[in-house]
Amino acid sequence: MGEILKSKDFVNLRQRKRPNGRVSLYLDICVDGVRRYEYLKLYLMPEVTRADKAANKETMRLAEAMKAQRVVEMQSRQFGLDIVDSSKVLFYDFIESLINRKEGTTKTSWKNCMAHLLRYEPNRSISFKDITPVWVQGFRDYLDFSARQWDIDTRKRNVEPKPISQGTKALMFQKLCSVLNLAVRQGMIASNPSATVERFKEPESDREFLTVEELRKLTATPPPDKEVARAFLFSCLTGLRWSDIVKLRWSNVQKYGESTRIVFTQQKTGGHEYLDLTPQAVDIIGERGKKDEKVFPNLTVVQTARINVTAWVNAAGIDKHITFHSGRHTFAIMMLDIGVDLYTVSKLLGHKSIETTQIYAKILDKNKQAAVNKIPSIFA
């Protein structure tokens, strides 16, 4: 980006160590031979923990975005272009444009975030210039102390809704931060007003899964919906999410010699993946259809799938809270349990970071410990 600037103009991101051990970030800017420094009020912390490292990475990403914004401003002046005026970009219009590009459960999650934002700030005419660090902190406080999880059932029964969970708080706030990050990248605002506001810590959720014995009990039980059952077992054998299974077409299923694999783009991460199928998974998808046809053509919505999976698990006498997404957890635990290394499991699941996969290793350790603790006493 900086290469387009005149040779005497430049924007460099620099660091200066402070006496307290922190590193201050600032921009070294030269325009028409005149040099100035812009301190960003962003600081890198000594990396003692993994959280410190993650925070520094986010800070550097933000600083690079602010540098890019200054380059855009300089180039705009050179070529006589107008810089985007944040006072003219409506905050809610921008979010709605994002929502319109989403699909499935991701779209629902974004709509929930929009609903919370509107409860906190009902004024639909606010622009990005109105979104200050104080405003962002106010939204965080709203999520922490005032927000409630409304749904149709509670409205019908006139029941007071419960405070939202820690995981929902973290997700809703992260979505706001993502909107502001995107606004920075698109040149609508110079810096992210959420950068100095503390994020919510995401709780370690209980990832329910089925053992091989429980899967056998399940397959021996007639399901309420055969198509959902077929898709759920396919998830257990491949680790695919609902969003990827529901979009899977026969053009994604390819033969490589004697083996079969699926080549697809992950709906959630956008990553291009391929996954070899076991003979059991090949049997589940059945006879090959036309290229543009869906492999699971009769699936409706994920909410219906969750209800059917829960009913099927209960009918099989399995006392666990199993959802459709538990199929992905089942696959991960099963792979680790049979000795597949963590790196390979991470690749099979399409994780961008192996740290995400390590959660499954912790779950497996807990279950092994629980099993050992059930050994009866051998002493009289």
Q: In this predicted structure, what is the pLDDT of residue 3?
A: 41
Rounded Cα gap, residues 312 and 306, in angstroms? 10
Helices (H), the chain: 50-78, 91-99, 104-120, 133-141, 152-157, 166-185, 212-219, 226-238, 242-245, 279-285, 302-315, 326-337, 342-349, 354-373
Q: In this predicted structure, what is the pLDDT of residue 172?
A: 92
Decide if pLDDT at 317 tops 90: yes
Rounded Cα gap, residues 250 and 242, in angstroms? 16
Q: By CB neighbour count within 10 A (0-12 exposed, 13-18 middle, 19+ buried), where does 74 fall?
A: buried
Q: In this predicted structure, what is the pLDDT of residue 366?
A: 62
For the stretch 9-43, pLDDT in tens is 678 899 998 888 889 999 888 877 778 888 888 88
Domain ranges of the chain: 2-78, 86-185, 212-373
What is the CATH code of the structural domain delimited by 212-373? 1.10.443.10
Beta bridge partners of 263: 274
Nearest of 347, 344, 328 to residue 336 by alpha carbon: 344
**Can you give the pTM of this predicted structure?**
0.52
Q: In this predicted structure, what is the pLDDT of residue 375?
A: 61
Decide if pLDDT at 155 tops 60: no
Beta bridge partners of 26: 14, 39
Angle at 373 between CA 368 and CA 378, to 5 degrees: 130
Rounded Cα gap, residues 13 and 40, in angstroms? 10
357 Ramachandran zone, left/alpha/beta (phi>0; psi -120 to 50): alpha
Q: In this predicted structure, what is the pLDDT of residue 267?
A: 60
CA distances from 158 to 151, 161, 162 (A): 11, 9, 12
Q: Give whichever of 160-174, 189-203, 309-323 has the largest mean pLDDT.
A: 309-323
86 band by pLDDT with thresholds 50, 70 and 90? low
For the stretch 97-106, pLDDT in tens is 888 877 666 7
270 band by pLDDT with thresholds 50, 70 and 90? low
> DSSP labels for 72-113?
HHHHHHHTTPPPP-GGGSBHHHHHHHHHTT--HHHHHHHHHH
